Homo-oligomer: A and B are copies of this chain.
């Protein structure tokens, strides 16, 4: 039943698999639930769609299109 959602920038396939593995293992160990009960969604965002301190991360990191 635990549902985990992550909002983040672009990741590689390997990073996504590693996050899924790590979060699931931690949840199983800490919340005492079976692995198959842990559902997780990774939401990748363009930097221009993420704001921090009032400006977009595209602007903050000089990556505006």
Contacts and interface: CB of A to CB of B under 8 A. Distances in A.
Given A19-B26, A56-B20, A7 B41 contact: yes
A24 B54 contact: yes
A13 B51 contact: no
Interface of A: 1-9, 11, 13, 15-31, 35-36, 38-45, 48-57, 59, 64-65
A22 to B, nearest CB: 4
A52 to B, nearest CB: 6
16 contacts: A1-B39, A1-B52, A1-B57, A5-B5, A16-B48, A16-B49, A18-B26, A19-B30, A19-B31, A20-B51, A20-B55, A21-B54, A22-B26, A22-B30, A24-B54, A36-B52
